[in-house]
Amino acid sequence: MSKLKTKTTIITGAANGIGLAAARLFAAEGAAIVLADVDVKNGEAAAEEINRGNGQALFVKTDVSIETEMHGLVQTTLKHFGDLDIMYNNAGYQETHKLHELSDDSWNRQVDINLRGSYLGCKFAVEHFMRKRSGTILNTSSIAGVFPTCDRPAYNAAKGGVIMLTKNIAMEYGEYNIRANVICPGVVRTKMTGLLDNDPESEEGGKRASVLHRVGEPEEIAKAALFLVSDDASFITGISLFVDGGMNLGGLWR
């Protein structure tokens, strides 16, 4: 189990859900993990768990929408571990509003966390990757960044922007041996989707959206993420990988 041996990785939104599952899996594969999140309690607990399991982990409280905090996250990683190899911009946030009911605050909050957070993480990672002439970026978009979903205009727009940002980075920085890909989850059992509350209506809705007739688990997204950041995907860059139980086939809109 050493697909990421000697690789130092930052994962944002790592205190819960997909980010936490990825942190655990990447650590098991040999990576040194920097967990970034605003959730201090769960973030610190996750780092302690990895360290107790003979992994290497550090928690850094980070608001991904604040430039100084994202710059500080990368600098802290370099100071603590001496390098950075993988930047996984995973932090996300959504609210449901129709466009005519959407406030500026809600729009800004969703765009700042989903799109601006990815932009800042990529920007400061790329600066380091250019110097070392190698590096891997993985950004989390969503199936909602490709197909519109009702009541989520800001989330759709922000996640769609993440996809184009990733493609731009892949195109412009490939000459530095920098790869950039984006993962597009479907309905996954996380706090953000509300599926941790054992709500029968939400569960049934998630099942209907997938042609596999079930919701995804965070560990399934993490396994796909592991592939994209590992050397198994060394000739893959600029792609959007759907990990959505077939939602892209039209499950949500049947």
Is the separation of the CB atoms in 185 and 156 below 8 Å?
no
pLDDT higher than 90, residue 106: yes
pLDDT higher than 50, residue 167: yes
**pLDDT (0 to 100) of residue 170:** 98
Q: Which residue has the higher pLDDT, 154 or 249?
A: 154
pLDDT higher than 90, residue 200: no
Confidence class for position 141, pLDDT limits 50, 70, 90:
very high
**pLDDT (0 to 100) of residue 192:** 67
Name the active-site residue from 93, 119, 155, 173. Answer: 155
Q: Which residue has the higher pLDDT, 189 or 207?
A: 189
Is the separation of the CB atoms in 149 and 196 below 8 Å?
no
**pLDDT (0 to 100) of residue 254:** 45
Any residues with CB less than 8 A from the CB of 8 and at least 6 apart, and which?
Answer: 31, 32, 34, 77, 81, 82, 83, 84, 85, 86
Question: Which range has the top average pLDDT, 42-46, 92-96, 195-199?
Answer: 42-46
The mean per-residue pLDDT over the stretch 10-29 comes to 98
Where in the chain are the domains? 8-253
Alpha-carbon distance of 229 to 9, in angstroms, equals: 10
Could you confirm whether domain 8-253 is CATH 3.40.50.720?
yes
pLDDT higher than 60, residue 178: yes
173 is catalytic: no
